[in-house]
Every structure is written in structure tokens, then in C-alpha cells.
Amino acid sequence: MDLKGKKVTVIGAAKSGIAAAQLVLEAGGVARITDARPLGDIERALAGLRGRGAVTVEAGGHTAAFIQDSHLVVASPGVWKDAPPLGWARDKGIPVMGEIEFAWRFCRKPVIAVTGSNGKTTTATLIARVLEAAGRSACLCGNVGVPFSQVVLSVPADYFVVEISSFQLELIETFRPHMAVLLNFSQNHLDRHPDMQDYFNAKKRIFMNQTSADHALLNADAPLVYSLAATIPSRVSFFRHAGTANPNFLAVLEVARILGIPGGVAEQVCAAFPGVEHRMEKVAVLDGVEYINDSKSTTVEAARWALERMQRPTVMIAGGSDKCLDYAPLRELMRRKVSALVVIGVIKDQLRETFGDIVPVEVVGGGLEEAVACARRLAVAGGSVLFSPMTASFDMFDNFEHRGKVFKQIVNRLGDSHA
């Protein structure tokens, strides 16, 4: 992609937007950023730009005038595909693409892309570790925390392992992973997608540019995912549950097989894997109570996975922003596993109404610190406090990582005061 002297406007100054603007500069283009937030709210992010002085910034709202003379518009994942700034660009005939597509235009190495409603980070992380263990360099990026645009030119790697969300897939055009993995599909992001079909349509776009030279890996135990096999142009393989085996591990083992990596290498990596941060992460034991950080639980199915693994009397902290999800499928599991539920955030009343007749529910009007204090009062020695929000964090935190770090800080302060 030749950007020399071209004006590229990036919509959104979060991590991916900043990385895209940096890539514009590295490619010789003229970078501009527009963000709906006030300048003071994004100045810290902008300060991370090398060549910040060369970047024109519009803050406090988007205007058509700022975009109209652009040669290209790049949207951060948080920007909806039908957002007004993208409409203004399209009306002017300006090409629009997402950050993943933009980075892909500069990529010269094979991409292994992983998507699904749950398990993406664990699976992508393990694939990268298996590649490294087999002597092949891998760069883990995308929705996992490091934007694709940030590393595509600067990191020499044999493979880019890209975790990719439905938001990122909505605005791809030519993105073509050599291997595309669809782990599962369940309700999520219904605040952004009008229905489940639209959400699924976004997910399956991961395969749309593949050819017979590429590979697709599908979960054979997920009927809707399995049904895609006949429509995918690449070579299709499957993984399926086997007894108590972790399905994410099984997907990783199949990826290794396809890539010609000995099964023993992948098995050793999976066996030694401690888990990803913010996913069933043990933080501390205070007064005989185990505190578990599961901030990465942003869906109903993620919370189900966590609750199924709880063996002690559990006080659960849940809640956050509204993704228009149905929590009722967890009622029976909640009845069996949870001794008390502490709810916070925008959906606190919804959670109280859903579970209040089967488990004691404490509604906390304040923040996470108040919720942890409440859970501590309710927990008993030999039990657990599980922070598994079941939804997104944007009503109180930047993202699930920020949310999880705050939870750990609160718990660790309790430990310090207890010592």
C-alpha cells in the first residue's frame, strides 16, 4: 500500500487507532485522528505517537469537514460500521477500512486468525507458544491487546497470530488468513449487532477471502459453526470435544497438526500453560477465602465456563455495561454453584430480576471496591469470591484488562491491611 503523501484519517484514538496512525506515519503518509472524546481524555494516548507533532487531531466530536479531503479513512474496532463519519467518507467516495484490514495491506507473512465468542485469547496465545516451541517465530496481536498495526512492520516473525473480533471482521475487504479458526458461537455483542444472525455473519467473514491454498478449522460440536464447512473455499478441518479435554487445547493441537508440528510439542505447551491473565486467575487467599479474577468473562458462556469449575461455596460479583444479553440460561447453574450474588453496573437490576428468586442478591450502587467489600462480608472460610462480570466493562472501565487490574489491586490492598 503506497501512502506516500496521502492523507489518512483514523477514526478513534484508542489503542488500535493510535497504532494505525503510527503505521500511516511509518509508511510515509499524513496521519490525522478524530475522536468523540475531549482532547484532555485522549492526550495521554496521543503522547505515545512517535511524530505526534505531525498528526492533526480533532477532538470532542467528528465533523465531515475534517474527513472530506482524506485519501483513506481507517476505523478503530470500536467504531460501528454504519457510524456517521464512515458514511460521510463513503458519500465522498473515500475508501473506508478497519484497522485489521489496514494492517493486512502491509503484511508479508502468513496470518493465523482466531475468532469465536469465547476462548479466543487462550487459543491464540497457545498457538503462538506452540509455534515458538517448534522453532518458528510468532507475533501474537490483534484483539489480544497489541494491535496488528503496531507490529506488522516492526516485528520480524514467521507467523502473525491474530485474535480477531466480530467488530474487526465487519470492515475487512481483502484480509486473508492462511489459517482461520472459528472456535464457537454464542450470544454476544447484541448491543452492537441487531440480532444473532448479523453477529454470525460478521464472524464467518474470516473465511471469505481464503482460497484452496488456505486452511479453515471449525468446531464440529457447534452445529452452526459446523454448517459453514460446505461454504468455505479453503481446506476445512475440524476439532471436537473429547471427554474432559479443554476444547481450546484440542483446537491448538489440530492447528499444530496442520502446520506439521509434532503433537508432543503442542501437548507439552498446553500441559504447562498457566492460563491467561484475567481468566480464572487466583489473586489471593484472605481469611480462608480464595479470590478469583475472571474479568475476561464478558459473555454468558464465559461465565458458564467459570461457574462449572467452581468447587467451593462461591460469592460471585457480576455486572457492567449492557450488551443486550439473556442471562436466564445460567439460572440452574447459578442455583447450584453460587451462595450469593453481588451485582454492579448498568445491568445490576437486570441481574437481580433474573436471579433474585434463586440466590441472595446484593445490589451495589457504588463501584467495584464496594462490591468486593460486600462479597468479603458474605464469603465464608473455605469458600471463594469469583469476579466474573458476564458482560463488558465500558460503563466503569476502559476494557476488561483495566477492570481485572483494578480488582486485583483492591484484593491485594485488603491483603496488605490484613497482614
**pLDDT at 417 (0 to 100):** 64
pLDDT given for residue 418 in this prediction: 58
* CATH fit for domain 281-418, picks 3.40.50.300, 3.40.630.30, 3.90.190.20, 3.30.750.24: 3.90.190.20
pLDDT at 184: 92
CATH number of 7-98: 3.40.50.720
107-272: CATH number: 3.40.1190.10
Cβ burial, residue 273 (10 Å; 0-12/13-18/19+): middle
Comparing C-alpha atoms, which of 3, 47, 54 is closest to residue 24? 3
> Residue 111: its pLDDT value, please?
98
The pLDDT of residue 394:
73
Tens place of pLDDT per residue across the chain (419 aa): 899 999 999 999 999 999 999 999 999 999 999 999 999 999 999 998 988 889 999 999 999 999 999 999 999 998 999 999 999 999 999 999 999 999 999 999 999 999 998 889 999 999 999 999 999 999 999 988 799 999 999 999 999 999 999 999 999 999 999 999 999 988 777 677 788 899 899 999 999 999 999 999 999 999 999 999 999 999 999 998 766 568 899 999 999 999 999 989 999 999 998 887 888 999 999 999 999 999 999 889 889 989 998 999 999 999 999 988 899 999 999 999 999 999 999 999 999 999 999 999 999 988 999 999 999 999 999 999 999 999 988 778 888 889 999 999 999 999 776 55
**Every domain of the chain and the residues it spans:** 7-98, 107-272, 281-418
Determine the pLDDT at residue 368: 95
| 386 in Cβ contact with 303 (< 8 Å) | no
Q: What is the Cα–Cα distance from 314 to 7, expressed in whole angstroms?
A: 54
Which pLDDT does position 48 carry in this prediction? 87
pTM metric for this prediction: 0.83
Reduce the secondary structure of 318-381 to three states and give it as a string: EEECCCCCCCHHHHHHHHHHEEEEEEEECCHHHHHHHHCCCCCEEECCCCHHHHHHHHHHHCCC
Say yes or no: do domains 107-272 and 281-418 share a fold: no
What pLDDT was estimated at residue 419? 52
